[in-house]
């Protein structure tokens, strides 16, 4: 998904910059800068995914899964500093000192093509996100999501589509409606849009980076598996940590029957671990601690 979006962004970025310089449209140059940031975002997410897939070693005994959350946070900073601030500043200058725009027909064509690609990226990201949210509200699903690359691409593509509509509206109003400052104000609006998107991405990525538990339904299924294990009287506690979209660490405190001997407890623990890993493949590490019965 990220590779396809990256290839589209690279082609669109070049076209937008060429048309933006030819027409002198601030909003189109802002959209070009927006797409350039998107291309950089795609590269960082690809790098993050490759780093997150590295196997565990002595320096990182639980693996490198959180790399993807770190680079998602970096993406939000890049979107704010390299996109929102620059775009808003250029929009202010264009609004204060508006200049006549050139022939915008080529610009509209590029925006239309870019809109098709951005809409396609949004559709691909939405389909993947929609499967994961299981019918829950969109905002609630973004907050609960553990798959940073998916919601990054989703919000990035949504901002891209809205940015294109804003750029078209601003340049059209400046060229045809006598509103000279509309083009610069459109750039400011794109900057605000990028800043809002960056804020949401930073907040969600930060929470994942600091360590969030797995989804409640995942923890509940693990609890159910452990409780149904023979010779288990109950599960006193469970803790889960989401290390990456497909990496979860689990600790369980399990109350076994007092009559069990050490070899039997060890066998029961191994059975719980095998059952959990088979039912929840995302679990990469599981620690079962026997607790004395009351």
Residue 62's φ and ψ, nearest 5 degrees, are: -105, 15
- State the pLDDT at residue 238: 92
Cβ burial 226-235 (10 Å sphere, 16+ → b, else e): beebeebeeb
Q: Please report the beta strands in 245-291, taking only residues with DSSP state E, as ranges in sequence order.
A: 247-256, 283-291
Fold (CATH) for 2-210: Alpha-lytic protease prodomain-like (1.20.1510)
- What whole-number distance in Å separates Cα of residue 19 and Cα of residue 204? 35
* CATH (residue range 216-291): 3.30.70.1350
* Beta carbons of 283 and 238 less than 8 angstroms apart: no
Say if pTM beats, i.e. exceeds, 0.75. Answer: yes
Q: What is the pLDDT of residues 211-221, one digit of tens each?
A: 889 888 899 99
- State the pLDDT at residue 102: 66
- State the pLDDT at residue 252: 94
- State the pLDDT at residue 54: 87
User: Stretch 131-158: mean pLDDT, rounded?
Assistant: 79
* Beta carbons of 241 and 248 less than 8 angstroms apart: yes
Percentage of residues in the chain having pLDDT higher than 90: 16
pLDDT at 4 over 60: no
Query: Which has the closest alpha carbon to 288: 206, 211, 229, 243?
Result: 229
Give the DSSP letter string of 48-100: HHHHHTSPP-SS-TT-STTHHHHHHHHHHHHIIIIIIIHHHHHHHHHHHS---
- CA dihedral defined by 259, 219, 280, 44, rounded to 10 degrees? -140
- What whole-number distance in Å separates Cα of residue 126 and Cα of residue 60? 33
Flag the least confident range among 10-14, 40-44, 271-275: 10-14
- State the pLDDT at residue 18: 67
Helix (H, G, I), strand (E, B) or coil at 208: helix
Report the mean per-residue pLDDT for the chain: 82
Q: Where are the domains of the chain?
A: 2-210, 216-291
Highest mean pLDDT out of 58-62, 137-141, 279-283: 279-283
Q: What is the pLDDT of residues 87-110, one digit of tens each?
A: 888 888 888 888 777 667 777 877
**What is the Cα gyration radius of the chain?**
25
- What whole-number distance in Å separates Cα of residue 93 and Cα of residue 111? 22
pLDDT at 3 over 60: no
């Amino acid at each position: 998904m990220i590779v396809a979006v990256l290839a589209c962004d690279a082609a669109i970025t070049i076209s937008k910059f060429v048309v933006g310089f030819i027409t002198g449209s601030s909003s189109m140059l802002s959209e070009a800068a927006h797409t350039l940031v998107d291309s950089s975002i795609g590269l960082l997410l690809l790098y993050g995914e490759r780093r997150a897939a590295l196997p565990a070693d002595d320096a990182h005994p639980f693996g490198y899964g959180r790399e993807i959350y770190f680079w998602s946070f970096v993406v939000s900073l890049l979107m704010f500093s390299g996109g929102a601030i620059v775009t808003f500043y250029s929009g202010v200058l264009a609004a204060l000192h508006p200049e006549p725009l050139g022939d915008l027909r080529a610009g509209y064509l590029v925006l239309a093509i870019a809109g098709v690609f951005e809409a396609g990226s949004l559709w691909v990201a939405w389909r993947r996100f929609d499967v994961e949210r299981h019918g829950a509200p969109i905002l609630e699903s973004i907050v609960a999501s553990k798959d940073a690359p998916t919601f990054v691409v989703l919000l990035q593509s949504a901002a891209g589509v809205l940015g294109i509509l804003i750029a078209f509206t601003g340049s059209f109003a400046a060229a045809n409606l006598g509103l000279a400052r509309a083009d610069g104000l459109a750039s400011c609006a794109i900057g605000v849009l990028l800043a809002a998107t960056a804020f949401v991405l930073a907040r969600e990525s930060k929470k994942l980076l600091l360590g969030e538990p797995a989804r409640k339904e995942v923890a509940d299924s693990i609890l159910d598996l452990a409780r149904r294990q023979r010779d288990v009287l109950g599960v006193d506690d469970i803790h889960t940590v989401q290390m990456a979209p497909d990496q979860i660490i689990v600790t369980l405190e399990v109350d076994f029957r007092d009559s069990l001997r050490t070899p039997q407890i060890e066998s029961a623990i191994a059975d719980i671990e095998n059952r959990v890993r088979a039912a929840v493949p995302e679990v990469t590490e599981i620690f079962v601690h026997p607790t004395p019965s009351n």
